[in-house]
Amino acid sequence: MRILGIDTSTKTGSVALIQNEVVLAEYTHSVTQGHSSDSTLDSWLISAIDRILQDGDETANRLKIDGIAVIIGPGAFTGLRIGVSTAKGLGYSLGIQIAEVTSLDALAANIPNGFVCPIMNAMREEVYAAFYENGKRKSEYMLIKPEDLAQRITGVRDQGSEKSGNHQIVTFLGDGVRLWEEFFATRLSGMVSFAPAHNSYLKAATVASIGMKMLLEGKGKKPEEIVPLYLRVSNAEQQRK
């Protein structure tokens, strides 16, 4: 099963093609390398997909894709819109289903064991976050202030220790770590650890792998059913209110 994975939810765009868990090709592109505008990100994504399908194809059948997995959010509004619309357009043209993968689920998959809390920079002194235990999500997707998140983590951790007798260490990962590591290390001293930097990045190959499992389980959707997960209204929507 060949799955195309797409992530444009953060400053680092990523595209990958996998076949039965084997990565055939993968490309990433950082905002520091130039995609500072909507049009540049859009053109990079189209070019990357075209290139990755050629690089990952040994049969010259470039359009042989069984499904698409795309990050629907939360994340940057513009990036999500571009990634989702590109996935939908490709899904329409090829007549294939799409798996909706969240950025927080994909990040958490980088560390499948233990108590994990991916955090993503949501701007305005807030983060996107969720709790995971041994690969399973244990909370809703949150848009939350770091102090409120720290309080929730303390409560969840205390609850867990009452049941098991163990005090679990919470592992943070994601681009929010760089901004909030000092705060959480102080506020939750002795209760947290921080994942290595390479585990704090979304990987399109991981997105594709998660999406493949969803498609095999019958959880794929038609292109017209795919919608971004924003958690917050955009600045333009706020101004209209």
The HSE-up count of residue 127 (CA atoms within 13 Å, CB side) is 26
Dump pLDDT digits (tens) for 183-222.
999 999 999 999 999 999 999 999 999 999 999 999 999 9
What residues pair up with 102 in beta bridges, in sequence order? 73
- pLDDT tens by residue, 91-145: 999 999 999 999 999 999 999 999 999 999 999 999 999 999 999 999 999 999 9
- Residue 54: predicted pLDDT: 80
Q: What is the total residue count of the chain?
A: 241
pLDDT of 35: 42
Question: pLDDT tens digits for 140-171?
Answer: 999 999 999 999 999 887 765 445 445 679 99
Phi-psi region of 75 (alpha: psi -120 to 50; beta: other; left: phi over 0): left
> What 8-state DSSP symbol labels residue 116?
E
Mean pLDDT value of segment 20-45: 76
Identify the structural domains of the chain with CATH numbers, from first to last: 2-103+203-240 (3.30.420.40), 111-200 (3.30.420.40)
Q: How far apart are CA 49 and CA 90, in angstroms?
A: 10
